[in-house]
């Protein structure tokens, strides 16, 4: 009995301490196969929080908007651990994005859905995420589904004159899903998939995989994370001259690839990624803010990360408390019409409209960020190839 | 060039399997020695390999950055080996020695903790990002290519693989000399057979333990550097990923048998690569996605039908 009283008292103390601020849990793949991609995304999230806190903070009392970061390591197990801690120990109001699709799905199914906590992912793009909810409305993302990117990539391949291609994908939720979409779209567009094989991530050698696939085609569609085998597979393919043309998606688009493989060897490489339209006023506002803070504005998923962190703050501000249950509905309300248009960084303006009981419509750096019924957003994609030793991106229309 | 049977099999399945096997073999030697003399499964072995590769990279970076000379990884590995051996001795003194008289499971857990500590320390010092060990792609050795073409068997072997083969042969021969011809080597074998009896006959058991760490550390170091030379990059889980196949190799060869570990390493490496060869029809025999499973399948079957391993090691 004594113990119960003590625990209750301790719990009350903790919760009052937490009440003073708004806490949002932020599991990011800080270690694991893609740390290079994640570092600027984390910077963008911190920048959004800094903007909120510098322009009056949360609610009438000006409470701090805290991002509590944890490491999800791009790994389902690590993500479940990290999110369990964030929800149960830090009592966060919402989860702001596990980066990888596998982590996002795992943490949602085993932790955040049962706890009734909303997840707003910054970059998880697997098509499987669209249909994982059953009656609830707790899963949102600011990055477009690969159901679209796979098709964009297939069209790009056809435009480049590729008619037959071998497909190799890393055996995880993200890469398996985009490879399936790509293979279906490529076949539908009249191309031939000569071989379609999974590979185990993080092996020391992929020479046998490359040999098996290489005897069927000179073109390879490679779906992998650069840090868990993608670079090794590509190097093995180039060493054995099995392939000369490579296409792929987000997971491979890192400077690390150029540095390790060498720009001179990467003439036939094109990767697509989720991109923003640089002509919108929202993007211009974001580019100015990011430039001032030294954040790379157009890197993959960096604007999406800023949008997610900013929108979550808007949603919590709209509910007027850090109650978990109402975040989801508020997120839909602040992101879509009707309402006054809010651009990245305009926290003070949004706060005063919300305080007066008005409606707002956030237009994000990465796109208009209007969620559909599945919590997905529409997206644009760009293709990148190596020009003068660096990635050079072109928007795909 | 894809048409001839021998060309594809030798260059894309057999030689890569042999390279992987050499790396497994060197790592498994350290594991099997620790197991036979100190009597525990050292989970931190893979991290030692990884640390060795990072230290070698650092020596190379210092040489090219400050002195302006680029050093071959095998040369840079020499000073790095000293540091790795020192790391081994320090961890033994402060983390394993206190448990020497305790249950085996405690020291196994200590090594598991050590694994996490070392990996995190490396992440703190060198960062979680991948590092480029050697940039670019490795072209096949031209001399070997021309020569092999003249005897009608085109071999495409890059220099890095020739170094790995040569290095492994040198290491195994040196180890064989050490264990069979030197006093300390014989003492190591005696302690492996029976520590109490060895102690009674006047063998300094602590000295033998130190020697074990030095030999195991040097082999782990070589395995780590060879691995980094092969994949040409460094990342903090590279050693951990090799750990389980290396255990499989040690078990296959027979725990406590260094030659068994070498043989087991080669078998596991070859089995992993050859399982994806199109033995029947056009497709791979087993999808390459299941490569890792092959090593485990061999280990499990071995533990069931012949737990003492091929070379009649200790069974538990």
Instruction: Report yes or no: B237 and B247 within 8 Å, Cβ to Cβ.
Output: no
Q: What mean pLDDT is predicted for residues A211-232? A: 90
Q: What mean pLDDT is predicted for residues B208-214? A: 92
Residue whose C-alpha is closest to residue B134's, from B24, B60, B240, B220: B60
Q: What stretches of chain A show up as alpha helix (H) in DSSP?
A: 2-19, 35-54, 76-88, 101-107, 113-115, 146-159, 173-188, 207-214, 230-239, 255-261, 281-293, 302-319, 327-335, 347-355
Classified as helix, coil or strand, B175 is helix
Instruction: Report yes or no: A144 and A376 within 8 Å, Cβ to Cβ.
Output: yes
Residue whose C-alpha is closest to residue B7's, from A211, A141, A328, A107: A211
Q: Pick the residue of B5, B12, B133, B294 with the most A CBs within 10 A to test the interface with A by mutation.
A: B12
Averaged pLDDT of chain A: 90
pLDDT at residue B261 greater than cutoff 50: yes
CATH topology of domain B5-129+158-305: ABC transporter involved in vitamin B12 uptake, BtuC (1.10.3470)
Q: Could you give the percent of chain A with pLDDT greater than 70? A: 95
Q: Is B142 on the interface with A (CB under 8 A)?
A: no
Q: What mean pLDDT is predicted for residues B186-206? A: 88
Residues 238-257, chain B: which have Cβ within 8 Å of A? 238, 241-242
pLDDT band at B5 (very low <50, low <70, confident <90, very high): low
Instruction: Report yes or no: A364 and A245 within 8 Å, Cβ to Cβ.
Output: no
Classified as helix, coil or strand, A193 is strand
From chain A, pick out residues whose CB is under 8 angstroms from the CB of B231.
204-205, 232
Site of tokens 């919760």: A15
pLDDT band at A379 (very low <50, low <70, confident <90, very high): confident
Taking the C-alpha atoms of residue A107 and residue A111, their distance in angstroms, rounded to an integer, is 5
pLDDT at residue A15 greater than cutoff 80: no
Q: Could you give the percent of chain A with pLDDT greater than 90? A: 71
| Rounded (to 5) percent helix, strand, coil in chain A | 45, 20, 35
pLDDT at residue B3 greater than cutoff 70: no
Q: What mean pLDDT is predicted for residues B250-261? A: 89
Instruction: Report yes or no: A137 and A112 within 8 Å, Cβ to Cβ.
Output: no
Q: How close, in Å, is residue A35 to chain B by CA atoms?
A: 6
- First-to-last alpha carbon distance for chain B, in angstroms, is 49
Structural domains of chain A, with CATH:
2-144+279-362 (3.40.50.2300), 147-273 (3.40.50.2300)
Global pTM reads 0.84
Look at residue A167 in the predicted model and tell me its pLDDT. 95
ipTM over 0.90: no
pLDDT at residue A266 greater than cutoff 80: yes
Subunit contact B288:A261, Cβ cutoff 8 A: no
Instruction: Report yes or no: A122 and A143 within 8 Å, Cβ to Cβ.
Output: yes
The CA dihedral of A117, A120, A125, A127, to the nearest 10 degrees, is: 50
Look at residue B6 in the predicted model and tell me its pLDDT. 75
Q: Could you report the per-residue pLDDT of A133-142, keeping only the tens digit for each?
A: 888 899 999 9
| Rounded (to 5) percent helix, strand, coil in chain B | 75, 5, 25
**What are the tokens at B70?**
């680029």
pLDDT at residue A8 greater than cutoff 90: no
Q: Could you report the per-residue pLDDT of B18-36, keeping only the tens digit for each?
A: 999 999 999 999 999 999 8
Q: What stretches of A25-75 show up as alpha helix (H) in DSSP?
A: 35-54
pLDDT band at A14 (very low <50, low <70, confident <90, very high): very low
Q: What mean pLDDT is predicted for residues A204-227? A: 89
Residue whose C-alpha is closest to residue A103's, from A30, A39, A197: A30
Site of tokens 């690569």: B273
């Amino acid at each position: 009995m004594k113990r119960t009283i003590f625990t209750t008292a301790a719990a009350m103390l903790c919760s009052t301490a937490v009440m003073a601020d708004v806490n949002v849990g932020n599991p990011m793949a800080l270690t694991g196969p893609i740390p290079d991609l994640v570092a600027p995304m984390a910077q963008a999230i911190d920048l959004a929080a800094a903007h909120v806190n510098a322009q009056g903070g949360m609610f009438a009392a000006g409470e701090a908007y805290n991002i509590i970061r944890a490491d999800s390591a791009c790994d389902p197990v690590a993500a479940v651990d990290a999110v369990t801690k964030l929800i149960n120990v830090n009592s966060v109001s919402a989860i702001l994005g596990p980066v990888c699709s596998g982590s996002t799905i795992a943490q949602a199914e085993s932790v955040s859905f049962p706890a009734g906590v909303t997840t707003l992912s910054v970059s998880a793009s697997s098509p499987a995420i669209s249909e994982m909810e059953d009656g609830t409305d707790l899963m949102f993302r600011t990055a477009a589904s690969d159901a679209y990117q796979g098709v964009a990539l297939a069209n790009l391949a056809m435009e480049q004159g590729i008619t037959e291609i071998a497909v190799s994908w890393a055996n995880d939720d993200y890469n398996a899903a985009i490879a399936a979409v790509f293979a279906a779209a490529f076949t539908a567009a009249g191309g031939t998939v000569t071989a379609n094989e999974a590979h185990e991530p993080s092996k020391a050698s992929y020479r046998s995989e490359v040999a098996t696939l290489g005897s069927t085609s000179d073109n390879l569609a490679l779906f992998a994370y650069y840090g868990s085998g993608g670079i090794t597979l590509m190097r093995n393919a180039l060493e054995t001259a099995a392939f000369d043309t490579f296409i792929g998606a987000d997971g491979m688009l890192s400077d690390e690839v150029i540095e390790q493989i060498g720009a001179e060897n990467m003439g036939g490489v094109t990767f697509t990624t989720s991109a923003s339209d640089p002509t919108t006023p929202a993007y211009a506002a974001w580019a100015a803010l990011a430039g001032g803070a030294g954040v790379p504005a157009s890197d993959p998923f960096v604007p999406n990360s800023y949008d997610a962190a900013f929108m979550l703050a808007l949603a919590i501000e709209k509910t007027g408390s850090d109650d978990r249950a109402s975040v989801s509905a508020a997120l839909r309300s602040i992101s879509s019409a009707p309402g006054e248009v809010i651009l990245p960084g305009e926290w003070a303006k949004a706060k005063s409209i919300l305080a007066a009981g008005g409606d707002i419509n956030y237009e994000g750096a990465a796109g208009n960020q209007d969620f559909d019924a599945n919590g997905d957003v529409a997206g644009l994609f760009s293709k990148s190839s190596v020009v003068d030793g660096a990635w050079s991106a072109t928007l795909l229309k | 060039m894809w048409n001839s049977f021998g060309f594809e099999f030798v260059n894309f399945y057999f030689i890569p399997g042999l390279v992987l096997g050499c790396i497994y073999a060197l790592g498994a030697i350290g594991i099997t020695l620790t197991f036979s003399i100190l009597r525990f499964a050292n989970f931190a072995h893979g991290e030692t390999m990884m640390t060795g590769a990072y230290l070698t990279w650092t020596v190379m970076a210092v040489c090219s950055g400050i002195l302006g000379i680029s050093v071959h990884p095998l040369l840079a590995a020499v000073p790095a080996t000293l540091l790795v051996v020192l790391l081994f001795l320090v961890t033994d003194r402060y983390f394993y020695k206190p448990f020497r008289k305790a249950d085996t499971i405690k020291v196994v857990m200590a090594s598991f903790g050590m694994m996490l500590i070392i990996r995190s320390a490396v992440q703190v010092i060198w960062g979680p990002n991948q590092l480029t060990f050697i940039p670019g792609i490795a072209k096949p050795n031209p001399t070997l290519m021309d020569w092999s073409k003249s005897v009608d068997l085109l071999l495409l072997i890059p220099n890095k693989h020739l170094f790995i083969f040569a290095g492994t042969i040198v290491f195994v021969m040196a180890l064989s000399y050490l264990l069979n011809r030197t006093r300390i080597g014989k003492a190591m074998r005696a302690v492996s057979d029976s520590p109490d009896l060895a102690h009674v006959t006047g063998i300094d058991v602590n000295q033998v333990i130190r020697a074990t760490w030095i030999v195991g550390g040097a082999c782990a170091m070589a395995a780590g550097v060879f691995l980094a030379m092969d994949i040409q990059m460094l990342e903090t889980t590279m050693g951990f990923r090799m750990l389980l196949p290396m255990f499989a190799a040690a078990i296959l060869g027979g725990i406590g048998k260094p030659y068994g570990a070498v043989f087991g390493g080669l078998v596991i490496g070859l089995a992993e690569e050859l399982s994806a060869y199109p033995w029947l029809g056009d497709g791979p025999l087993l999808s390459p996605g299941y490569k890792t499973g092959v090593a485990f399948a061999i280990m499990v079957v071995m533990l069931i039908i012949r737990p003492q391993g091929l070379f009649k090691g200790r069974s538990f």
